[in-house]
Structure 1
Amino acid sequence: MNSDKGKSSLASSDVIVIDFDIPFEFVYSIATGIELLDMIFIMASVTWKVRIVAIFGIVASKYIQGYYQPTTRELIGINGTTKAPVMNYASETSLGVATIRAFKMQDRFFKDYMRLVDTDASTFIFSNATFEWLVLRKEAFSNLTLFTTTFLLVFIPKGFVSPGLVGLSRSYAMTLTGT
């Protein structure tokens, strides 16, 4: 009977991910990709040499994601296996709270629960660490593009490009790191 509850909880969690998280992440990824391409297009239209650096940055980012994605999949799988016992333990403890109090075993159950939470939290920390690893490397490539754009804009002959376009390209280069 208890295993059915665990499967039901896990199944409802999967349905929530499929219904809400995946469509949101898909739309967010598409919007960010379009924004990124727009920024690179605007910067490249002002300083065409940025295309070389942008292509290098995109290839390097895809290469880095090749390391990141398998690690993240494993950590998400491990996180799912460590989260299920926490939820199961909490639900079973709440159902048997009268018996636990009758035998004065609250401390033991609380310590067991905290041990399960610590195990679950450790995988969550590793997931965040791998994400920060990816972000750090992607920001390095974005900063390289920013530096190259700035360098090229400084050394463009005066009057070759209007100052408005230079400012536009520079502002997009600054927001590239955030994107």
Structure 2
Amino acid sequence: MKGLLAAGAFAIAAIAPAAVTAACFTQREWSAMEVALLDREMEVAALSCRTVAGVDFIQELNQVRARHRIREFTAVLQGYYNRSFGAQGRTRFDRFMTVSSNDFSMRSFASANFCGDMLTLFKAVSAAEPGTVTKLATDRARELQTMTGEVCTAPTAQRAPTTARTP
């Protein structure tokens, strides 16, 4: 099981550096990446756990997405990929989202209490006040250590980054 978890963590780490080779993230894009990963994790959990008694939250997922304006974060992240990769932006973005989903699916197999843990996470996100999802996403990304990249210090966000894990 630990091997599956390590393989899943590697999958995100393997694509995240590719996501930052062209340009560093603005703070807004970095937050959007964290929220997108949280959304991917909740979606995988909703699909994986829908047959587990007391854990089915697939119907509520869209309400949570609307409440926290997840689509807006996704659009910001898509903008990062377009800015960084031009014509390949959409393809790279889609690849990132697919690999992220696959990573979280692998994690579900490695955890004996995946559905219970995800229900707890979903309830926390669901109960959070609008505008606070970025804090939850940041905390979750740090807990999972899935983020790689660099937030730009220059206002233009055009310099080439180095790859580093979040603290």
TM-score (norm 2): 0.33
Higher RCO, Cα 8 Å, sep 6+: 2
Normalized per residue, the structure richer in helix is 1
TM-score (norm 1): 0.32
